[in-house]
């Protein structure tokens, strides 16, 4: 249901996030683990202090909300601090 959106979001970080980490997170989409894929992807973005644009931030937050994540938990609460 969210697979295409997660993959498209992840592809925006090619060249900014280690390709092994990026692909490892996105691989979960292929196993119908969309929530896990997105959470791991956002974890990596936060852990490695990858700067994100306002547009990427808005996309991540909307996707997190659509998927039922709490913005007060996990990596989602840290994304705002990465906006460039």
Q: What is the pLDDT of residue 30?
A: 96
Average pLDDT of the chain?
96
Q: Which domain holds residue 50?
A: 3-82
Calculate mean pLDDT across residues 66-73.
95
DSSP string of 17-81?
Answer: B-HHHHHHHHHGGGGT-HHHHHHHHHHHHHHTT--B-HHHHHHHHHHHHHTT--TTSGGGGGGGG
Joined together, the tokens standing for residue 49 give 């202090």
**14: helix, coil or strand?**
strand
How many separate domains does the chain show? 1
Q: What is the pLDDT of residue 2?
A: 97
* Predicted confidence (pLDDT) per residue in 16-54, tens digit: 999 999 999 999 999 999 999 999 999 999 999 999 999
């Amino acid at each position: 249901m969210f697979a295409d959106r997660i993959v498209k979001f992840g592809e925006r970080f090619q060249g900014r996030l280690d390709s092994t980490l990026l692909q490892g997170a996105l691989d979960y989409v292929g196993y119908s683990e969309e929530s896990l894929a997105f959470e791991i992807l956002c974890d990596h973005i936060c852990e490695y202090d990858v700067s994100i644009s306002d547009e990427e931030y808005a996309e991540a937050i909307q996707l997190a909300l659509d998927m039922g994540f709490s913005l007060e938990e996990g990596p989602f609460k840290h994304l705002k601090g990465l906006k460039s």
